[in-house]
Chain A
Amino acid sequence: KNEVEQSPQNLTAQEGEFITINCSYSVGISALHWLQQHPGGGIVSLFMLSSGKKKHGRLIATINIQEKHSSLHITASHPRDSAVYICAVRGGGATNKLIFGTGTLLAVQP
């Protein structure tokens, strides 16, 4: 079992829909990251959070430390949101390394 699990693996939505991507983890963490990766492109950090909720434009990320669960929401989705969304956790200890989920491939159709 992976230490970081995402669902769904694939998601197709119509433009304008509200989208939720879920992430569950099984290890102790100091922070959780949501990242975006476009085909053939690099990885861009969307959020880094350790508690509560953060909002940036149409994106909202929440985390529940007790339940070891985080969600990424996209409101009023647009085709340009089509990408792979990756959840990654940073464990405790001396290393700042990230442990990644396998990603959620999102396709928003016009």
Chain B
Amino acid sequence: GAGVSQTPSNKVTEKGKYVELRCDPISGHTALYWYRQSLGQGPEFLIYFQGTGAADDSGLPNDRFFAVRPEGSVSTLKIQRTERGDSAVYLCASSRDRVGSEQFFGPGTRLTVL
């Protein structure tokens, strides 16, 4: 595709449920990033993939959060036992490679935990 796509665009769930958020990066981009943006704040880094491996997961807030990128393209962010504090816009970005490349952002998934 022409840009980074994310699905769903909106997700409403109940506290305690499991959710999966999907990111389709730009074709050929080896680096993929997940960020989280709470209302009125700038995005915060969650995890970075180079290829299939998570090169840096230091931003994941706790072990309820997990992300995979099994074939080095599409990535899924998984959140277990969701809490109301997880409500935010989850942004995905991709770049051509790791060093010095511009990141291209998807439209985000707005997650609301009731």
Contacts and interface: CB of A to CB of B under 8 A. Distances in A.
B61 to A, nearest CB: 15
A79 B106 CA distance: 24
B105 A86 contact: no
Interface residues of B, number: 27
Size category of the binding interface on chain A: 20 to 34
Given A30-B100, A44-B105, A96 B48 contact: yes
Nearest to B59: A97
Interface in A70-106: 86, 88, 94-103
Which label, helix, strand, loop or mixed, suits the secondary structure of the A interface?
Answer: strand
16 contacts: A30-B100, A41-B107, A42-B106, A43-B91, A43-B93, A45-B103, A86-B43, A88-B43, A94-B56, A94-B98, A96-B48, A96-B98, A96-B101, A97-B48, A100-B35, A102-B42
